Amino acid sequence: MSAIREVKFLRELKHQNVIELLDVFSSKTNLNLVLEFLDTDLELVIKDRSLVFLPADIKSWMAMTFRGLEFCHRNFILHRDLKPNNLLIASDGQLKIADFGLARDFADPGYKMTCQVITRWYRPPELLWGCRYYSTAVDIWSVGCIFAELMLRTPYLPGETDMDQLKTIFRALGTPTEEDWPGHTKLHDYVPVGQFPKTPLRELFTAASADCLNLLSKCLIYDPKRRIGAKDALNHPYFFALPYPSHPSKLPKPAKKETGPPLEEVDGNVEMVGSGPAVRANPPNKLKRRRSSEDFGNRPVARRLDFSK
Amino acid sequence: MTATPAPQSEPVASTSSQQSIYEASTQYRHWRFSQEELANMRSSLNLDAVSAIRHAFENDSPGSSTSVAFLNAEEEHLLVKLYVGKISQLCGHFRFPEEVEATAVTYLKRFYLKNTVMDWHPKNVMLTALFLATKTTNNPISLESYASHIPRTAPSDVLDLEFLVAQSLGFDFAVWHPHRSLWGIWLDVQTIPDVSMDDLQKAHEAATTHVRAARLTDAEFVYTPSQIALACFSLASPTLASTWARAKFPSLPHPPVLDVLEPIKAIILRNGSPPDVEAVREVDRRLRLCKNPEKIVGSNAYNKKLQEKEKKAEEKRKRKAEAARIAMEEGDPFGSELAKKAAAELDDDDDDD
């Protein structure tokens, strides 16, 4: 099913910031996807402590993410699993959105969708509360989390369970009021999770510019209807202000060879590192494209997927 | 293709914003033809199939093909059309949404632009196309319950052809349908002042019937979904259709889209009804006699083909083993450049069955 989804959407999407499906073929009982070869992903870049990010670098990655996402949304496709690990990076520095195994087209008004999507740390509160009618705003929340993670160099909202995820979100951004988010208490799985005060983003993101925090806060607006859209995000002053985004080829990249496991986290988050985010709807044996293709040099690599389901 | 997101006035600019979304779709790029192209494709496909099957008959027992009356392209098309109708019946039975039905119909029609009914009977392909459509349109149903609701059908009957169908479709699973466009027109018209909702409702219902009729025709290979939808709407109510077009293009006294409608309407009125069952039954009777024997499990020709395939595979294994042996003897466990190359070549043709 997820293979079929991936093929369906990638056959239609052709954009600089979306992974390219070069070919599909079947042999015996396997479906093989030939995907563009991409060196690394944003998660590895974030975790590589030897790299220093300039504000312009972050702006460049964000611009590429929003462009790719805007293209998906323009084609009526929700990605539903955005996270640094699914933002792959090509040898020329271009960022590409990958892994459309959970993607789907927009549902018609009144048709339910599953809320068990998006890796927990990047999942918006409406899905955690069981909202079955949603739209592009869910992807934008994920991008907001990625945006914050690029600045913090550690996952912004690492909840340990679905319930803890809500708490983590509210601890960071304050518990939403009826005014912030009309009707949220009527969501299907709504449970109150305690009152947390709002802290200005400025307190955590001390080095960020005002434009930057403004865009971040608009990605993390509780009310999905008021959350910024991908196109408006691209038109946000942040992308027009100095410093201009770095040229993709100038962006920091991990050294060519992977040397052992990534460095241990040191931000008081050590207990999170072992377990990692829970990916409920994803198969646990999801192939890591970048690793499995390491030996193949710079050419497309076929990926085998089970087609029988 | 500038890579820099740096200063630019149009941040959304991308390689693909120049063309419309529809023009970027696989439907537009791979599945649009002129009527002549369609006719040529079908007749040459039919001629190739007939000569291949004649050959298979002759291989089986010489002289046996002379008495066989093979199907021609029109007869093949007639049979496919019958099974397009069957998809609708099945969808009604399962209460599948219209999206599933429309997608399955498109799959079936596309399949027979690449294959002949003499190789693959539409009865089976139809079941697979429908099952595939439930998956690609996000309306999954378990294979067991799907097969159990269809008489004389085992899960394997559905699954066996799935690869073949997916491959014939070129893995282009996404399809855009006129019924969606019609819905858009219906919503649009409601915003136009002074339109009677009763008239609109009636027109929409009639247009929906025409959209369903259009599924039996080749319209979707020639025209865009929105053109077909407007043509159907215009069949139902010409005045409302032109009211919509004028509201949509207020600067044009005569919106050009209205000129495309007549040929589409003609196609729908001419070909939009189910085929005569008696005629199809006759075709199906003849099909039983001219099916490709190589595709019938248990027939001589089938077994022969299977043996040939196995022999080829066996030879290939031997050649591979030989290459590996040579490599081992040369002392390098990973093989010399040459042996590696030979092995690589052997690997290459592994995947098109």
Which residue of A12, A35, A232 to mutate against B (max B Cβ within 10 Å)? A12
| B184 chain-A contacts, CB cut-off 8 A | none
Question: Positive or negative, the Cα torsion across A150, A152, A154, A159?
Answer: negative
The pLDDT value given to residue A150:
95
Distance CA B140, CA A53 (A): 44
> By percentage, how much of chain B surpasses pLDDT 90?
57
Q: Which of B195, B306, B274, B207 is nearest to B240 (CA)?
A: B195
- Give residue B303's Cα distance to chain centre: 29
Q: What superfamily does domain B178-271 belong to in CATH?
A: Cyclin-like (1.10.472.10)
Give exposure, B17-52, as e/b (b: 16+ Cβ within 10 Å): eeeeeeebbbbeeebeeeeeeeeeebeebbeebbee
Q: How far apart are the first and last CA of chain A?
A: 6
Q: Which of B1, B2, B4 to mutate to test the interface with A (most CBs of A within 10 A)?
A: B4
Active site residue A99: no
Number of separate domains in chain A: 1
Task: Reduce the DSSP state of residue B136 to 3 states and report it.
Answer: helix
The mean pLDDT value for A107-123 works out to 89
pLDDT, position A271: 31
β-sheet bridge partners, residue A104: A78
Nearest to B210 by CA among B182, B187, B241, B243: B182
Asked whether residue A13 is assigned to any structural domain, the reply reads no
- Are B12 and A67 inside 8 Å of each other by CB? yes
Residue A23 lies in a domain: no
Question: Tell me: the pLDDT tens digits for A171-182?
Answer: 999 999 999 999
The answer as to whether A289 is a domain residue is no
In a domain, residue A212? The reply is yes
Q: Evaluate if residue A307 carries a pLDDT over 80.
A: no
The residue ranking higher by pLDDT, A57 or A306, is A57
The more confident residue out of A155 and B151 is A155
Q: Which listed residue (A81, A92, A211, A295) is catalytic?
A: A81
Residues 203-262 of A with CB under 8 A from B: 231, 234-235, 239-240, 244-245, 247-249
**Averaged pLDDT score across all residues of chain A:** 84
DSSP string, B285-353: HHHHHHS-GGGSTTSHHHHHHHHHHHHHHHHHHHHHHHHHHHHHHTT-TT--HHHHHHHHHHHHTTS--
Q: Would you state the pLDDT for residue A255? A: 78
Is B24 an 8 Å CB contact of chain A?
yes
Domain that holds residue A133: 40-250
pLDDT in tens, A170-217: 999 999 999 999 999 999 999 999 899 999 999 999 989 999 999 999
Contacts of A304 (CB under 8 A, 6+ apart): A30, A31, A32
Torsion of CA A238, A244, A250, A255, to 10 degrees: -30
| Contact present, B101 and B83 (Cβ < 8 Å) | no
Q: List C-alpha distances in Å: B47 to A298, B52, B113, B312.
A: 44, 9, 13, 28
Looking at domain B16-61+68-175+276-295, its CATH class is mainly alpha
Q: Find, in chain A, the residue whose alpha carbon is nearest to that of B26.
A: A12
Q: How far is A46 from chain B (nearest CA, A)?
A: 20
Q: How far is A160 from chain B (nearest CA, A)?
A: 30
What does the pLDDT look like over A223-279, one tens digit per residue?
A: 999 999 999 999 999 999 989 999 999 999 987 654 444 443 333 333 333 333 333
**Of residues B7, B140, B163, nearest to A26 (C-beta):** B163
Q: Which amino acid is at B202?
A: K
Q: A247–B3: do the CB atoms touch at under 8 Å?
A: yes
Query: Is B327 a residue whose pLDDT tops 80?
Result: no
Q: What CATH number has the domain bearing residue A159?
A: 1.10.510.10
DSSP string over B102-126: HHHHHHHHHHTTTS-TTTS-HHHHH
Give domain status of residue A44, yes or no.
yes
**pLDDT tens digit sequence for A33-62:** 899 999 899 999 999 999 999 999 999 999
- Residue B303 and residue B311: Cα distance in Å, rounded? 12
**A92 vs B3, B140, B174: nearest CB:** B3
Q: Is A118 helix (H, G, I), strand (E, B) or coil?
A: coil
- Residue B200's φ and ψ, nearest 5 degrees, are -60, -45
